[in-house]
Structure 1
Amino acid sequence: MYADFMSHPDLFIAITNGATAEDRMIRFVEYYLTSFHEGRKGAIAKKPYNPIIGETFHCSWKIPKSEVPSSVTSNSSMQAVSNHGPLSEEALSKVGPDYYTVRFVAEQVSHHPPVSGFYAECAERKMCVNAHVWTKSKFLGMSIGVTMVGEGILSLLEHGEEYTFSLPCAYARSILTVPWVELGGKVSINCVKTGYSASITFHTKPFYGGKLHRVTGEVKHNTTNAVVCRVQGEWNSVLEFTYSSGETKNVDLTKLAVTKKRVRPLEKQDPFESRRLWKNVTDSLRESEIDKATEHKRTLEERQRTEERHRIETGTPWKTKYFIKEGDGWVYHKPLWKIIPATQPAE
């Protein structure tokens, strides 16, 4: 699921192309608000696979450099420019200096509580994002609320900037009839170095009337308290950005191209990589064999419980593969900021 946040890697890379700190914060907000719709396709809620401790997922994206926005485009409608599917071996061999690569890895680092760590980087542009998310579920009558506890940090090493951000809550509504999903709550994005911040509200639908999936937000320069950009619309359809200059830009997410993940073939994946781990469940669901899928899922979960009991009995701590515990969070073991030193450009 978290890999779907990177479905528009061209917008992700474009953040660091911003000429000013204000421009980069606005670009991050634009990317952030376009990152939810791909993982929430369809109006009906679907029961997700429950991640198993130690489960990992790897993928990457190749993006033509010519398709990465180099400047903020106003008075326009941002739409699709491409739709890259899985690349053939021949195509992979041709991927070279005309492409950027974004790499992604995720790991389920804890079962109690359920915590996921994920990390993505574009080494060519010296940028990366690291996040950890602890999901807390709560029954709310006819709904289930899922709180995303944790935070992410976007590092733009070319500019020596870090952007800390949070994630909205998710709600599964009408769980006894036809379930549907919406996002809700306030989130923040903050860059201490530049003094720019963003406040975004995902509005839940009122009981009577009101629109679904509505979102509003603003970008502010904290020192002067000046609002430099406002946004409104729906996070799964059309967003309208209004800049301090009075210019506007519409982003139609229904027409925005999705760059598909590049994932290794199953036979080359490790046993605990997601698609290989859940292959039997996925195959059964595709064949509409619900009982068989449930049995395969139960087998995996029982194996997890058995292994956990053994660790408790023997006093053996769980050892993660890619993420390291730091304070209350989890950090990728080889982040870009440890390999490439951040620069301190003057603006």
Structure 2
Amino acid sequence: MDSRSVSSRLRELVKFLGTVQGDLSNVTGPPSLLAPSSVVEVGHAWAQRPAVFAAPALESDPEKRSLLVLRWFLTSLRSQLYVNGAPGVSIKKPLNAFLGELFFASWTDEEHKATTQLVAEQVSHHPPITAMHIADREHGIRADGYARVEMTFNGAVNIRQVGHAMVHIDRYDEDHLVPLPDVKIRGFLGGCMYPEITGTYQIMSSAGFVTEIYFSGEGMISGKRNSFQARIYRREDTKRREPLYEATGIWSKGWTVKDVRTGDVLEVYDVEAPENAPMPIDIAPLDEQDEWESRRAWAGVLAGMASGDMRIVLAEKTKIEQAQRQLRAQEAAEGRKWEPLLFRSQEGEDHAVFHELTEGTGWRLFNERTKGVWKVDESKVVGAQSPYRGELTPLG
């Protein structure tokens, strides 16, 4: 891309953001700045390395299980946050998912005999909330997560994710509470936007271990982009926080893991090494997908993006957005309430595992902002048959 087109896109973005007030989450950006995928697909980042996801279920040592959950968390960040790109490529904004949008996919690692299956649904539009479920049933490990995304602009785009993920390992009846970090989009002046996580987050294990991750970034004088430091310690040792393991590096490029007690380097992870590449995604062919499945629903928009015809992108996207507004108006007029297909909301006070793991930490649930806590209804997943909503489609 030449410097003039970069400059043009940057001016277009800044002009657009300058006209928007408040939360940007449901705001449609300029077509040229959109990624060819929907928000409802974001769970792919957590599921596309089946061996990494399954690894904690195959480890007998509980402190090492925490280390493996950290590894899974770190490996997801680059593809989750560098939407439609990589370091050095300006990121784009995913399509705003419409209410009821679905995404089904699986990944298989033949060498390690591991398969992950992902189910995701847009369970709310105002506010936007996406729920997902990832499972490796053979190894007995699953992850349930949900997020309300809040975006604001004050010279940088600030993305706050309200929600969390919970990993459960059947063999040990063990849970790991995983945070969804906040992100700033930087790089406007340089014409190449990139994500930066800042702050400190914790992964809490029911086996008694805490993983503390401190994210930092590129400053005016010092610091490296996408940097982090992590340490794992026993929860009973919250005063000294003496680490058992440490991991340091750049989450978008690679990191080093050490056993602090012995000084041994356990792993040097290179994100771009061939052995760490994601497995190929397996999804149904477009003509076999239901009308509510993401890639079929957005097929016209994605085709316009692929051909570079922004007029098609705008026309096809507007068609869906207008139809969705009409459906919401019709529901309101008839006094009907939209019911998600595969996920159910639970009262925050009933989410016992969360409250047990966060006791004394100050970590709040904020369930009032996410319409409760969202969990998959596995009986609905097993019993779901297309057409999922009868004659109703995203277009009406």
Q: Which amino acid aligns with 2:70?
A: V
User: CA 1:177 to 1:308, structure 2 compared with 1: closer, same or farther past 3 Å?
Assistant: farther
1:105-157 CA distances to partner (integer Å, 9 max, x unpaired)?
0000000110000001011111100001110011122x111111101100001
Are the aligned partners of 1:182 and 1:204 in contact in 2 as well (CA < 8 Å)? no
What's the counterpart of residue 44 of structure 1? 90
What's the counterpart of residue 65 of structure 2? 24
Q: Structure 1 stretch 121-130 or stretch 201-210: which is displaced more? A: 201-210
What TM-score results when the alignment is normalised by the length of structure 1?
0.83
1:113 aligns with 2:127: yes
Q: RMSD of the alignment, in Å?
A: 1.5
Among 231, 252, 256, the alignment partner of 1:236 is: 252
Are the aligned partners of 2:232 and 2:243 in contact in 1 as well (CA < 8 Å)? yes
Give the C-alpha shift of residue 311 in structure 1: 1.4
Give the C-alpha shift of residue 169 in structure 1: 1.6
Give the C-alpha shift of residue 277 in structure 1: 0.6
Are the aligned partners of 1:172 and 1:179 in contact in 2 as well (CA < 8 Å)? no
Give the C-alpha shift of residue 51 in structure 1: 0.6
CA distance in 1, matches of 2:93, 2:232: 35
Are the aligned partners of 2:186 and 2:196 in contact in 1 as well (CA < 8 Å)? no
1:55-114 CA distances to partner (integer Å, 9 max, x unpaired)?
0100011122x43xxxxxxxxxxxxxxxxxxxxxxxxxxxxxxx3321110000000110
What's the counterpart of residue 221 of structure 1? 234
In the alignment, structure 2 segments of 5+ residues that lack a partner are 1-41, 348-371, 380-396
Among 374, 382, 394, the alignment partner of 1:330 is: 374
CA distance in 2, matches of 1:101, 1:35: 16
Q: Which amino acid aligns with 1:228?
A: L
Among 264, 274, 277, the alignment partner of 1:247 is: 264
What's the counterpart of residue 165 of structure 2? 152
3-state secondary structure, aligned to 1:37: helix
CA distance in 2, matches of 1:4, 1:261: 11
What's the counterpart of residue 79 of structure 1? none
Among 101, 109, 112, the alignment partner of 1:55 is: 101
Give the C-alpha shift of residue 204 in structure 1: 3.1
Give the C-alpha shift of residue 177 in structure 1: 6.1
What's the counterpart of residue 310 of structure 1? 330
> Where do residues 39-188 of structure 1 align in structure 2 (5 Å cutoff)?
39=80, 40=82, 41-42=85-86, 43-64=89-110, 66-67=111-112, 99-141=113-155, 143-175=156-188, 178-184=191-197, 185-188=199-202
In the alignment, structure 1 segments of 5+ residues that lack a partner are 68-98, 336-347
3-state secondary structure, aligned to 2:236: coil
Aligned length: 301
Give the C-alpha shift of residue 237 in structure 1: 0.6
3-state secondary structure, aligned to 1:48: strand
Q: Which has the higher contact order (CA 8 A, sep 6+)?
A: 1
Share of identical aligned residues, percent?
A: 23
Q: Structure 1 stretch 234-243 or stretch 170-179: which is displaced more? A: 170-179
Higher helix share: 2
What's the counterpart of residue 339 of structure 1? none
Q: Which amino acid aligns with 1:322?
A: L
3-state secondary structure, aligned to 2:247: strand
Q: Structure 1 stretch 176-185 or stretch 217-226: which is displaced more? A: 176-185
Q: Which amino acid aligns with 1:111?
A: H
Q: Which amino acid aligns with 1:236?
A: S
3-state secondary structure, aligned to 2:218: coil
1:172-224 CA distances to partner (integer Å, 9 max, x unpaired)?
224476241223132211013x1101111221322333211111111111124
User: CA 1:239 to 1:178, structure 2 compared with 1: closer, same or farther past 3 Å?
Assistant: same
Runs of 4 or more, structure 1, over 3 Å off, are 174-177
